[in-house]
Amino acid sequence: RGLTDISLLKCFIHLRYVDLSKNKLKDLAPLSSLTQLLWLKVDENLLTSASMQELPYLQVISFDHNHIMDFEGITHPLLANLSLKENKIQTVLGLSHDQLFSLQVLELRGNKIETTAGLGVSKLKKLYLAKNTICSLEGLEEFKQLETLHLRDNKLEALDGFSDSMKCLQYLNLRSNGIKSFQEVEKLQVLPMLQALVLMDNPCSEEPSYRLEVLSRLPQLQRLDKESVEEKEREEAKKIRQTRKEKE
């Protein structure tokens, strides 16, 4: 509606669900009176900061398609789902680990993030980092409860940084990166629960026997790219693995 002023909302202190998307807001200060707020959506505005006064019951926020550059001022203790898709975030420093202890889903697609260092929110279960400029993976040992990690369309050439402390990671999307060798794929062996891996549109996926080469290194996979692993190729991959061991 082209709103620039939402000061009137201060009067409605019992609001629980607020959607202010597609306006021209630059300031969310009037929302500090809404102490009962559970859910807030402010997509497609002119916000340069996500900073707000701490709201005790707020569980879901979406700041998609704004001009936000950092995490400063996001301190809501019950926040479980935070989306900052398509903003201008370059660094994840400023994420309040000690106050965001309820955060389980973090959506950061389409920003300008270069590294994962500093992102270790302890209870995070789903992390979406597609369409950034990430070239190194750091601090992943903090993600002990992470189940889903989405890194499509980044600049990864090496897969260093994964940790055996990531005991819950089941789904990993690495589509459209720069991974050339199967030696890099081998580094994913530290992930004990990995079941689904997406590697298509990487240089290594153009290699002959690509699927078998990956499965020989990660035999626990149930799904590679968009296809389930069949018993026949599982057996073939096992033979390749045995032959490799004998050569070693």
Helices (H), the chain: 182-186, 210-217, 231-247
Average pLDDT over residues 161-174: 96
Quick one: how far is CA 217 from the chain centroid?
25
The rounded distance, in Å, linking the Cα atoms of 105 and 82 is 6
Instruction: Give CA–CA dist 75/248, Å, rounded.
Output: 52
Q: State how far the Cα of 219 lies from the Cα of 144, in Å rounded to an integer.
A: 22
Distance CA 158, CA 204 (A): 12
- Check whether 94 has a pLDDT greater than 80: no
pLDDT on residue 101 = 87
pLDDT at residue 117 greater than cutoff 90: no
Q: What is the pLDDT of residues 23-41, one digit of tens each?
A: 999 999 999 999 999 999 9
Share of the chain above pLDDT 90, in %: 86
CA distance 184 to 165: 19
Q: What percentage of the chain's residues is helix, strand, coil (to nearest 5)?
A: 20, 15, 65
Kindly tell me if the per-residue pLDDT of 241 is higher than 80: yes
Mean pLDDT (whole number) for 126-132: 97
Cα-to-chain-centroid distance, residue 125: 9
The structure's pTM equals: 0.94
